[in-house]
Structure 1
Amino acid sequence: MHNIDIEQLDLAELKQLRKDVDRAIESYEKRKKQEALAAAEAAAKESGYTLSELLGTTAKGKGKVNPPKYRHPENPELTWTGRGRQPDWIKEGLQAGKSLEDFLIVK
């Protein structure tokens, strides 16, 4: 371990030291998580399973993707699921007097 006399450092050196320490901590935590994940995967493999099988997760990602519910009338590539912030083209259409039903994808 290095002995640093922080009382002798100026402000710029202290800030750089803080950045270096934060980066070292982040790197250490990342490395430890990877080691733990590798150990868990090895333990699962010894029992004949994958880690995702034991956890009930899939490799596809976070979850189900919601299908689009609304489509731009002139550009069918622009869609919106109806969740989250309204896209500008929906806002503009609503301001022009249209309703959400006008953009609804009929299924």
Structure 2
Amino acid sequence: MFDKAELKTMSRKELEKHLADVEKALSAAKARDYREAKKAAAKAVAEFGFSLTEISDSDAPKTKTAKIKKTKKPSKPVFANPEDKTQTWTGKGRQPNWYRAQVTGGTAPDAMRIPN
């Protein structure tokens, strides 16, 4: 192995040669690790009675995936306050105070309905 001090004294050509040697060794180590991992995986799969070719992500049983939440369009208003047309209600959810006050005051809900 090289000491940091030795590396500092080497020429650029020597360093590039060592870099090439390290890249070759790294590539060989990666290939070796891949082969070992493949053997270990084949052994593990064989314990369950399968082969590596039978097992793949595309053949895996489908699992529940997260549903993509779609943004809902706002509902169209169905009722409008006869005294202030800017106050509207879709007819869904809690009744607004103005709607309740109008109904209690005797106004029919159909009278507040916005025509289509």
Query: TM-score, normalised to structure 2's length?
Result: 0.44
Which structure: greater helix fraction? 1
Q: TM-score, normalised by structure 1?
A: 0.48
**Greater Rg, structure 1 or structure 2?**
2
